[in-house]
Structures are given as C-alpha cells and as structure tokens.
C-alpha cells in the first residue's frame, strides 16, 4: 500500500485533474460553461494555486478546457474540437495613430516587421487598425468593436484615449509610450543612454560646437535631449555652444535644419539628428550646397541605425536600436500573458549601442 503522504505530495494535482476530467465527461460542466476560478478551486479542494494551475494546465493540454484572458476558464467542445477557436490562432490588433502621420518612418516599419515575424511563428493573425478619426469616442469604438485577443499600440495617441483602450480592452503592449498607472507591458528605447553616448563620441573627437535636430514633442525627444545635455555638462562644456533645431523625424525637416545651419554665421562642427531620416536630409542639403564637405567640415550622425545609414555618402554614424527585437518582444509579452493565469506587466528598456561610420571625424582646425 502506498504512503498517503507521498501520494499527496506527488500526485495532488493529478487527483484534481482526474476529478475535473470526470466531472466534465459526466456533464457536470457543459461545453463553453465557465469553470470555478482558481481561487474557488483552491478553497474547495484545500490546494494551493500552483497545484490548481498545474491541474488546469494538464486539462488544457488535452483540449478539455480553454482560457480567455481576463474572463476565465471554460469547457471546450471535447475531442471533436480539442483546441477551441480563438485559443491557438489568436488575432492581435496592431493599433496605429493616423493623426500624426509625420511620426512614422522606417523605424516603425522595422518594429512592425518584427511583430509580423513573431506572429507568423505562432500562427497568429495580425489585424492592422489605423485610428485617423479626431473624435476620441469614435476612435475608441473603432477598436472596441473588433474581436481581438490582444493589442499592440505603436505611435502617438491622445493619453486619455490610450488609457480607455488599455483599461477596457484585451491584453495590451505599448511600444514607445510613457503613461503612468496602466497595468500593461511597456517596451521603450533607452533614449537617454543612446544620446549620451552619441554626444560623448562627438566630444571625444574634439567637437565643441554642436547642433541638435530634435523630433516632435514627446518623451523620445525629451530623453534624447537630456542625454545630450548631461554628456555636455559632465564634460564641462558651455551649454550655449549647443544649437537646438526643432524637427519632426522626417527627412524634410532635416533638409530645413541644414538650410538654417548654412545660413548661420557660426556653423557647428557637428550635427546630431535625433533620427537617421532627418540626418539623411541634413547630409543631402549640405552636399547640395557645394560649400560643406562631410565629415571634413561638419560631422553628421543620426539615431536608430536604420537603412538610411548605408544609403548616404559617406555612410552615417548612428545609434543602434534593436527595432526588430522590440516587435518580437511585444508578441512575446502577449504570449506570456495568455499562458499565465496571473501575469505581472513589465517595463522593458531596450539598450542601444553606438555604430561609428565615416560621417563623423575630428573637427577642422580653427
């Protein structure tokens, strides 16, 4: 005869899964009927949540039950449908803001490619939803009326709209967002460190006259600006020697910034653009002027290390951001949410690294 204590220790979850299996087969729980919660099962059978979770995982693997995030666990249709619709092939909504079209570029295309790649491996579906209605209520209804298992938000959203969508919608992941008080996964770039190291590179080369072309208002530009300022200050350099030029992350604003620099009496020896696309615009205009040679007269660098960096002459120094990995990670966070009965949201800061190419060098001698 087996030791009861040993059996209890080793097979307790089996006892629960066997009991629930019999109750399902006997018809106590009907198809699509919700099972008691994990807490209720723990109390009813005097078992801890880990044991209950293990028992439910066994039944889920057999196709007897399925879970809907934030709703509960249900009885499936049985052997004829071991994996209930919507459980294996999930539909993930990629929500983009169409109100700020200038905010999108090759950076976002690469992030989206990473999302598509990860979803393809899981055999999940991607639904693209562009919110281009200025009415917050209509934009909200646009998303909420679609049957989605999870959502990924990318772009610039009205904070109040984003809060409503995340709080009332399916599991969500935010990319490049800074909103307090939301219980969801967030993936951001370490903008501060990237900008700090870029500025440090220019300082080490000997540059003391710097122009920075920023992006539109938001935490991305602000964090990169802070990185520049701190690197400059810690090197004990004069902050008045930094010229700030507002851009919008698109190439044409880089062109405009270069035209402004060419017209200025005191030209910088280096230009740091807060993305590669603007840096490409700067380089194009400087080349066209026939008065400035890169990097002999002015060094130029960007941020993100997109395809723009190898499409310029000379090739562009930039800050590497793992954009494809950000897309992959967003899907992984949703997957973790679906697979766990309890999920702890995380804030992930994606690290950066400096990629030095031919567009930066020592400043010309005075």
Question: At residue 346, does pLDDT exceed 80?
Answer: yes
Q: Are residues 149 and 261 in the same domain?
A: no
Look at residue 226 and tell me if it is in a domain.
Answer: yes
pLDDT band at 80 (very low <50, low <70, confident <90, very high): very low
Print the domain residue range for 306: 191-320
176-185, 198-207, 241-250, range with the lowest pLDDT:
176-185
Are 179 and 264 within one domain?
A: no
Whether residues 115 and 172 fall in one domain:
yes
Q: Looking at the structure, tell me whether residues 226 and 299 fall in a common domain.
A: yes
**169-190 average pLDDT score:** 91
Residues 174 and 294 grouped into a single domain: no
**Long-range CB pairs of 155-159, under 8 A, 24+ apart, other chains included:** 155/95, 155/96, 155/97, 155/100, 155/103, 155/104, 155/108, 156/97, 156/99, 156/100, 156/103, 156/216, 156/218, 157/97, 157/131
Helix (H, G, I), strand (E, B) or coil at 102: helix
Would residue 364 count as lying in a domain? no
Residues 95 and 211 in one domain: no
Average pLDDT score over residue span 84-108: 72
According to the model, what pLDDT value does residue 87 have? 43
Instruction: Give, as one character, the DSSP assignment of residue 304.
Output: B
In this structure, the answer to whether residues 17 and 126 fall within a common structural domain is no
Residue 361 lies in a domain: no
The pLDDT value given to residue 70: 56
* Residue 358 exposed, middle or buried by CB count within 10 Å (0-12, 13-18, 19+): middle
Q: Which residue has the tokens 């122009």?
A: 211
Same domain, 213 and 303: yes
How do residues 221-240 score in pLDDT, each as one tens digit? 999 999 999 999 999 999 99
Q: Are residues 162 and 207 in the same domain?
A: no
**pTM confidence score:** 0.74
Residue 362 belongs to some domain of the structure: no
- Residues 349-362 have pLDDT tens digits of 998 999 999 999 99
Positive/negative CA dihedral, 211, 215, 216, 220: negative
pLDDT band at 9 (very low <50, low <70, confident <90, very high): very low
In a domain, 38, yes or no: yes
CATH value at residue 240: 3.40.50.2300
Residue 358 in any domain: the answer is no
Is the domain of 44 the same as that of 108? no
The chain-wide mean pLDDT, for the chain, equals: 86
Give the pLDDT confidence score for residue 330 in this predicted structure. Answer: 95
| Last residue in a domain, options 75, 106, 129 | 75
- Counting the structural domains of the chain, the total is 3
Same domain, 183 and 268: no
Shared domain check, 348 and 306: no
Q: For 259-283, what is the mean pLDDT? A: 96
Separation CA 305–CA 168 (nearest Å): 36
pLDDT in tens, 17-70: 888 888 888 888 887 788 888 888 888 888 887 777 777 777 776 667 776 655
* Residues 6 or more apart whose Cβ sits within 8 Å of residue 277: 105, 106, 249, 250, 251, 254, 302, 306, 308
């Amino acid at each position: 005869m087996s030791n009861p204590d040993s059996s209890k220790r080793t097979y307790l979850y089996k006892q629960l899964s066997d009991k629930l299996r019999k109750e399902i087969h006997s018809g106590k729980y009907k198809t699509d009927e919700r099972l008691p919660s994990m807490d209720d099962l723990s109390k009813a059978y005097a078992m801890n949540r880990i044991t209950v979770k293990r028992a439910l995982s066994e039944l889920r693997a057999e196709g007897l039950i399925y879970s809907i995030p934030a709703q509960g666990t249900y009885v499936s249709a049985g052997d004829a449908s071991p994996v209930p619709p919507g459980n294996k092939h999930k539909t993930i909504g990629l929500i983009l803001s169409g109100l700020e079209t200038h905010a999108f570029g090759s950076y976002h295309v690469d992030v989206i490619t990473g999302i598509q790649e990860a979803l393809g491996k899981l055999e999940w579906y991607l639904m693209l939803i562009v919110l281009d209605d200025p009415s917050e209520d209509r934009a909200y209804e646009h998303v909420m009326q679609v049957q989605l298992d999870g959502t990924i938000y990318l772009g610039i959203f009205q904070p109040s709209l984003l809060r409503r969508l995340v709080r009332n919608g399916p599991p969500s992941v935010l990319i490049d967002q800074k909103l307090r008080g939301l219980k969801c996964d967030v993936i951001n770039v370490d903008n501060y460190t990237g900008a700090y190291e870029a500025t440090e590179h220019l300082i080490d080369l000997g540059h003391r006259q710097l122009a920075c072309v920023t992006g539109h208002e938001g935490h991305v530009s602000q964090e990169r600006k802070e990185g520049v300022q701190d690197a400059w200050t810690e090197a004990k350099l004069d902050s008045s020697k930094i010229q700030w030029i507002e851009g919008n992350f698109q190439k044409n604003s880089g062109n405009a910034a270069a035209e402004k620099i060419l017209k200025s009496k005191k030209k910088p020896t280096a230009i740091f653009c807060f993305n590669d696309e603007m840096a490409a615009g700067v380089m194009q205009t400087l080349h066209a002027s026939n008065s400035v040679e890169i990097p002999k007269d002015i060094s130029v660098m960007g941020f993100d290390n997109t395809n723009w960096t190898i499409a310029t002459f000379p090739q562009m120094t930039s800050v590497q951001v793992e954009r494809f990995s950000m897309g992959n990670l967003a899907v992984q966070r949703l997957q973790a949410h679906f697979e766990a009965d309890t999920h702890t949201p995380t804030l992930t800061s994606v690290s950066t690294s400096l990629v030095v190419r031919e567009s930066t060098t020592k400043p010309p001698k005075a």
